Amino acid sequence: MKVFCSRVNPTTGAVDWVEEDEHYDYHQEIARSSYADMLHDKDRNQKYYQGIRLAVQRVKERGEEAIVLDIGTGTGLLSMMALTAGADFCYAIEVFKPMAEAAVRIVQTNGFRDKIKVINKHSTEVTVGPDGDMKHKANILITELFDTELIGEGALPSYEHAQHNLMQDHWEAVPHRATVYAQLVESRRLWSWNKLFPLKLDSMEIRPPPEMENCPGAPSVCDVQLSQLSLNDFTKLTDSLRVFWVDFSQQVSSSTVSHPVHFAPIADGTAQVVLSWWDIDMDPEGTITCTMKPSWTYPATQPAPWRDHWMQCVYFLPEERPVTQHEKLCLTAHQDDYCVWYTLTKPSSAVEHSQLSIERPACSCGAHITWNRSRFGELNDRQRMGLYMQALRQVLTPSSVCLCVSDGSLLPFLAHSVGAAQIYTLESSSMSQHLMEKLFQANQIENKIGVLRKSADSLTAADLQDRKISALIGEPFFTTSLLPWHNLYFWYSRTALSDNLTKDFTVFPLHASLYVLAVEFKDLWRIRSPCGICEGFDVSIMDDMIKNSLNFRESQEAEPHPLWEYPCRALSEPTKLMTFDFREPVPADEMRSEGSLNLVRPGESHGMVLWMEYQLTEDISVSTGLLQVSEERGNCLWYPHSKQGVYFFSSVLDPTLASTQSFASVTYLLTFNPKLGEIRMNFTPIS
């Protein structure tokens, strides 16, 4: 059955009515899931298996039947482990219907259909009794409900309900307990993801309004691959602190609670950021531990397991504060049923403060709603802002009528500093409009810059006081953009504004170019690689399900990833595929690029990385992708404030297609459809 769905096209800005299969959303969720990544995590799998064996053994030694409840079963892997370890029966709960259906088939394929019952419900809806979903309550609770923050997927309410309603009076739990650790640091790089720094220009200094400086920030955790941070990116103010733990063999509560930890800093500095991760012990003795700690906490000789389904957390304190070595302080973790947040106080006020801070923080200034973390980082990128400033000096004159088309941009400030006569900025949302108005007011230039909450195609001469635009500028950046080429919305806006432009108008950037690079990923390829046999169990049905969802579209698509977090090596030279000329309107005809590129380094080719480069003026450009390649190994340095597009080769998605010989080149065919604003692509490695 087909259904019509309305979607805002991020490139053209138009509302498109698209005919989709009724299961399209399911396919999208499956295709972008982390099921494969989790099953590739041997450290996780093996430790779960060890813990399950011991839990079943403890129940059997008491002379009881081992009845297992597996919440969030996914493929049914942990249930099958339990049966193999000697459990008598398993109830495997999976709320996501396509995954539950796959689990039923996987269980049957592996010969456990009579011993595992897959229940397609939320665990809080499961009933117990002769006519219920479960005939008997369980005495072994196995779960994998955790996210990077540990409790962000609602683990605590699920545990609380299950222990009250689905478990016997005494039960074993795998994992047995979880422990959350925190480390207080000073880090200009990380703090730049949370606050707008003052920026000194030629004739003024941009300062954030007080409500932005005092805002507690976004309530959501910032999950990141902390292993990819350099130790030079932060200063440790504490060693890792054990903040709180949850014993899953005891009754869990999802009530809001605070966990104060008293400590003395190990160095002088400015407390800004809390780095956090967790461990899970699979057994009561704590001999089987699966840890999420970053690689720089491991001994030099011990490699850290790579995971993308569980990373580490960055939390921002409500405000930065100076600390001195050996000073007595209290770091308090506040935890409700879904979130964790931190405050730093003096010990004498810790109890009182914990009561005041029990409510989850939320953005009150609008900036943390308008700008995500990477956008904050980009706005605080002094080198990049310097390039924009240099370019604007070449482009603008005292008589320029300037229009900025970018969401929440600082370019209007730069244009004012350069001395443009009249400046306007188009903002796509009321939140962005109010934010920019507050920024202009705080810097006393609200009468110098007009804020227009309009789309380019609805702009009238009256909005511009019957003037025409002589300088159209943009970074470009738009909050709706996911892939690098989605910011071509600037080009569509330029086209819609044609009647409002002077004949000799200047546009900035002049044009954008799409670049590509063949790469070998150190680990990222695992998120799309089939598992086949996992710990002795055949899970290829799940592989086929993911492959089917990835092929749901007529052609394969690139997906966005922040590659500074995912090391890779360049196997080819960066190659320009297409150029989009902003001096001209969007063409009516399709643009096409076809050819091949040679691989210049040996390695396993996992895919292609795509990014945009913007030519601001004839001699100044900025990149959203590759910044540098080391000559010797080909290690890549990526622009950290944008996501790049990643196109995985079919050999990653289906290892049976992998060539026994190394690839020598890659052929490509790309088409840009101006009507849809889409880039269709195909890359084929050639031996």
Indicate which residues carry an active-site annotation.
Answer: 144, 153
What SS3 class is residue 56?
helix
Residues 558 and 645: their CA atoms lie apart, in Å, by 5
What SS3 class is residue 568?
strand
Contact 38, 53 (CB under 8 A): no
Instruction: Report how far Cα 220 is from the mean position of its chain's Cα atoms.
Output: 12
Strands (E), 53-159: 67-71, 89-93, 116-119, 138-143
Strands (E), 23-175: 67-71, 89-93, 116-119, 138-143, 167-174
Residues 106 and 307: their CA atoms lie apart, in Å, by 24
- CB-based contacts of 41, cutoff 8 Å, min separation 6: 305, 307, 309
Phi, psi of 681 (to 5 degrees): -140, 150
For residue 551, give the amino acid letter: N
458-462 long-range contacts, Cβ below 8 Å, gap at least 24? 459/426, 459/496, 459/497, 459/500, 461/500
Residue (of 224, 310, 218, 329) closest to 271 by Cα position: 329
Contact 193, 374 (CB under 8 A): yes
Contact 37, 307 (CB under 8 A): yes
- Sign of the torsion formed by the C-alpha atoms of 17, 20, 25 and 28: negative
Instruction: At 191, list the tokens.
Output: 């703090």
Give CA separation, 316 vs 186, 311, 344, 352, 509, in Å: 11, 17, 11, 21, 34
Residues 356 and 337: their CA atoms lie apart, in Å, by 18
Please write down the HEC assignment for all residues of 291-327: ECCCHHHCCCCCCCCCCCCCCEEEEEEEEEEEECCCC
Contact 261, 179 (CB under 8 A): no
Phi, psi of 620 (to 5 degrees): -130, 125
Q: Which residues sit opposite 316 in a β-bridge?
A: 273
Q: Is 361 left (phi over 0), alpha (psi -120 to 50) or beta?
A: beta
What SS3 class is residue 502?
strand
Residue (of 364, 314, 355, 312) closest to 332 by Cα position: 355
- CB-based contacts of 239, cutoff 8 Å, min separation 6: 183, 266
H or E element at residue 131? none
H or E element at residue 222? strand 222-224
- Sign of the torsion formed by the C-alpha atoms of 19, 21, 25 and 27: negative
Torsion angle, CA of 417/418/422/426, rounded to 10 degrees? -70
Contact 682, 668 (CB under 8 A): yes
